[in-house]
A and B are shown apart, each in its own frame.
Chain A
Amino acid sequence: MNMIQAINSAMDVMMDRDSTVVVMGEDVGFFGGVFRATAGLQKKYGKNRVFDTPITECGIIGVAVGMGAYGLRPVPEIQFADYIYPALDQLVSEAARLRYRSAGEFIAPMTVRSPFGGGIFGGQTHSQSPEGIFTHVSGIKTVIPSTPYDAKGLLIAAIEDNDPTIFFEPKRIYNGPFDGHYDTPARNWGGHRDAQVPSGYYKVELGKARTVRAGEALTILCYGTMVHVVEETVTMTGVDAEIIDLRTLVPLDIEAIEASVKKTGRCLIVHEATRTSGFGAELLALVQERCFYHLEAPIERVTGFDTPYPHSLEWAYFPGPVRIREAINKILKD
């Protein structure tokens, strides 16, 4: 399965198991979503459970909060993560705090799916990575898969979870892994070890990172599309890096991070999102706080730049193999 099929399968499995799961969003019903992630679901489960919505993100999330309070498990789709901002207040002030402020009387057990990230010539409004905004909010979980297997298992876990969850789907790797080489032909998921996706129910627990590759020379923390770019760079350079795919940013698998950095003594953090106040800053602080005496070199960050996503200069912006390799060399120098 490719990642879209895996995501579709996760919703299918969950809708079949639990009649309170409903899917909603712009174009998700009859058409099955602009990326086809919800294809076939309306036909199978009916319009009461899979429906198109008006184009009002604030309305979609506000309505999902009410549905959650009623006792349903909404899985709203925000068509592109760039359009989550109009819904921000409903997510930050309402969904994220409902359990806390009502002392458990009401909950908003929703999973907000949204394609994010760049590398598809989406320009400023179809490329952003806003995960750092949500990790800063108390009461909301942030999940980002990097393979079809994880996408399905994590999405099932998120839908079953009773907390509101943001599920960001790296759209650059919907159809196949991307190694950062934009000038070579696109690949598909066929034959990839993590594209063997069981058709039935299984879960990938939230809050557990995945060791993509074990190594001794340095630890690279990454998630989403960057996992593949990092893996390719490491293979190319032949460096013995340990690659950790975080999978969920909140809750974060601090044990895996700490164990790895203490072992390797060096750490690189890679994400697509802009640098300043990005999630990388949080990771850097955590590693510094917990592993300082084990560190043999300064921690480095490779990120997007602090500019809006530039359309024509997309590949100059994208944190690709060149930038990552340079950072690895810098870390290994001392």
Chain B
Amino acid sequence: MSDSKQIGAESSPEARRNLPPLSLHVPEPKFRPGDTADFAHFEIPPAGSTPRPDEAAAAGDMRDLAYGLVRVLDDEGQAVGPWDPKLPAETLLKILRAMALTRAFDERMFRAQRQGKTSFYMKSTGEEAVSVGAALALQRDDMCFPSYRQQGILLARDWPMIDMMNQIYSNKGDRLKGRQLPIMYSAREAGFFSISGNLTTQYPQAVGWAMASAARGDTRIAATWCGEGSTAEGDFHSACTFASVYRAPVIMNVVNNQWAISSFSGFAGAEATTFAARAVGYGIAGLRIDGNDALAVYAATRWAADRARSNGGPTLIEHFTYRAEGHSTSDDPGQYRSADEGSHWPLGDPIARLKTHCIALGIWDEERHAAMDVELATQVRDAAREAEKNGILGHGLHHHRMETMFEQVFEDMPWHLEEQRDQMLREAKAAGL
């Protein structure tokens, strides 16, 4: 006889008194393919209406901000309210340009994947403000621990596109020696930590880096990014605990783009509260901001950076945004979400919004913007052509030497890897390679 008892089917009559049956709540997004999207249920406060506390304010005194939405750019493209960072024209145009470059880069690399030049690509369309706005609000030597959708950080930091493309093509120019999936960049010099394919592992790592910086009396801070779906991972919560306990100088960004592949944000807990509100339970400053508003992203990041730099501790920023395209080149969002969601998204397009602002300020115009788009597309095309000279994936001729496979597993190669390397080289020789 088995010593385990089944619960439920044969539970005792006493256990099945006259109670209504329980029911399990399984979240369901508001719109599926074929539905007309309508975001009227979102509470979107007017730009400029959210107060801006002092950077030194106690986390407990600013709980409302975790449930609100910091917005700077209004519908007319005016920058309004206490969060307006009042940036000089030069900086505004720099942000605009880096966002447009990110989009042009994404377009080109997406097409390269479709042309079979690489295995995989992920766009950040609609989320360019999140990475570009933050990157330019940080110091260049602050360390970023990104997820896979923050290519805008590298581009905003003027990192060579050819280097990024070499990585995407896994060719002989790839500094990572073709070891990582495309877009999993690493650029220490650009303050860009090696990207992991395991979600949210970068979160505690960023906190550790920030703690080390604090323990050494450094002045640099760390910042990290993950998607809203990824906040469900244990690493996220470990990181929040550590960040709170040691008041680590770190900025923890949650990019709420509404979707985690085909799972809507409800599966990470969005029906119950906001993601910024995760901060409340940890006693961390939490800000919920309009992630399609580059000025809000810039201002919030600067606020959090100043707070961190003055030993005020960590800030968790939820960037409320929308993933305008598929999850990756392997994804077809038409299968699971309403086709017109993107066009109904109430917070608009981040590049269009900043462009309107710059035009309203009189520092920019449509002609210059159109010319810039052409110029950037050309720049990206030229870089891609250069990178392709180093090879494309699967081409066979432009890979790193085979034996590099065994290098850097350890600092020095142990005997068993040497033996395996020699075996591989013998096999290759026998095969006439």
A residues engaging B (CB < 8 A)? 22, 48-49, 51, 53-54, 56, 58-59, 61-72, 74, 86, 89-90, 93-94, 98-107, 138-139, 141, 161-163, 207, 250-252, 254
A48 to B248: give the CA distance in the assembly, Å.
12
Residues of B within 8 A of A254 (CB): 415-416
Known: A63-B242, A70-B213. A105 touches B208 (CB 8 A): no
**Is B239 interfacial (CB 8 A cutoff)?**
yes
Q: Mind listing 12 A-B residue pairs with CB under 8 Å? A: A56-B238, A56-B241, A64-B208, A70-B143, A70-B216, A90-B201, A100-B179, A101-B179, A103-B179, A105-B187, A141-B410, A252-B414
Known: A66-B206, A251-B415. A101 touches B186 (CB 8 A): yes
Residue of B nearest to A61 (CB): B204
B198 close to A93 (CB less than 8 A): yes
B residues engaging A (CB < 8 A)? 143, 145, 175-177, 179-180, 184, 186-188, 193-194, 196, 198, 201, 203-213, 215-216, 222, 234-235, 237-239, 241-242, 245-246, 408-411, 414-416
Contacting A102 at CB < 8 Å: which of B176, B204, B416? B176
Residues of B within 8 A of A163 (CB): 410-411
Residues of B within 8 A of A102 (CB): 176, 186, 188, 194
Known: A62-B238, A103-B186, A163-B411. A67 touches B194 (CB 8 A): no
Residues of B within 8 A of A70 (CB): 143, 208-209, 212-213, 216
Closest 10 CB pairs of A and B: A66-B208, A62-B204, A59-B238, A63-B208, A66-B205, A70-B212, A102-B194, A66-B209, A251-B414, A102-B186
Residues of A within 8 A of B234 (CB): 56, 58, 86
B194 close to A101 (CB less than 8 A): yes
Contacting B204 at CB < 8 Å: which of A22, A63, A105, A250? A63
A102 to B145: give the CA distance in the assembly, Å.
13
A90 to B409: give the CA distance in the assembly, Å.
16
A58 close to B204 (CB less than 8 A): yes
Residue of B nearest to A207 (CB): B414
Contacting A90 at CB < 8 Å: which of B186, B204, B212? B204
Residues of B within 8 A of A56 (CB): 234, 237-238, 241-242
A99 close to B205 (CB less than 8 A): no
Residue of B nearest to A53 (CB): B242
A82 to B272: give the CA distance in the assembly, Å.
35
**Given A66-B208, A69-B205, A101-B194, 16 more contacts at CB 8 Å?**
A54-B238, A56-B234, A56-B237, A58-B234, A59-B207, A63-B242, A67-B209, A69-B193, A72-B216, A99-B410, A100-B409, A106-B188, A138-B409, A161-B411, A207-B414, A250-B414
Q: Tell me how far the C-beta of B411 lies from the nearest C-beta in chain A, rounded to whole angstroms.
A: 5
B179 close to A66 (CB less than 8 A): no
Number of A-B contacts defined by CB within 8 Å: 147
B193 close to A106 (CB less than 8 A): yes
Residues of A within 8 A of B208 (CB): 62-70, 74
Interface hub of B145, B210, B222, B408 (most chain A Cβ within 10 A): B408
A103 close to B201 (CB less than 8 A): no
A69 to B208: give the CA distance in the assembly, Å.
9
Residue of B nearest to A141 (CB): B410
Q: Tell me how far the C-beta of B409 lies from the nearest C-beta in chain A, rounded to whole angstroms.
A: 5
Q: Tell me how far the C-beta of B166 lies from the nearest C-beta in chain A, rounded to whole angstroms.
A: 12
Residue of A nearest to B224 (CB): A66
Residues of A within 8 A of B204 (CB): 58-59, 61-63, 65-66, 90
Residues of B within 8 A of A71 (CB): 212
A40 to B241: give the CA distance in the assembly, Å.
26
A283 to B209: give the CA distance in the assembly, Å.
38
Residues of B within 8 A of A90 (CB): 201, 204, 235
A232 to B196: give the CA distance in the assembly, Å.
48
Q: Tell me how far the C-beta of A70 lies from the nearest C-beta in chain B, rounded to whole angstroms.
A: 4
A62 close to B176 (CB less than 8 A): no
A4 to B204: give the CA distance in the assembly, Å.
30
Residue of B nearest to A87 (CB): B238
A295 to B239: give the CA distance in the assembly, Å.
53
Q: Tell me how far the C-beta of A97 lies from the nearest C-beta in chain B, rounded to whole angstroms.
A: 8
Residues of A within 8 A of B143 (CB): 69-70
A107 to B409: give the CA distance in the assembly, Å.
11
A59 close to B241 (CB less than 8 A): yes
Known: A94-B201, A101-B180. A54 touches B245 (CB 8 A): yes
B215 close to A62 (CB less than 8 A): no
Q: Tell me how far the C-beta of A196 lies from the nearest C-beta in chain B, rounded to whole angstroms.
A: 30
A22 to B175: give the CA distance in the assembly, Å.
31
B205 close to A62 (CB less than 8 A): yes
Q: Tell me how far the C-beta of A27 lies from the nearest C-beta in chain B, rounded to whole angstroms.
A: 14
A62 to B415: give the CA distance in the assembly, Å.
29
B239 close to A59 (CB less than 8 A): yes
Residues of A within 8 A of B242 (CB): 53-54, 56, 59, 63
A51 to B208: give the CA distance in the assembly, Å.
13
Residues of A within 8 A of B414 (CB): 207, 250-252
B212 close to A72 (CB less than 8 A): yes
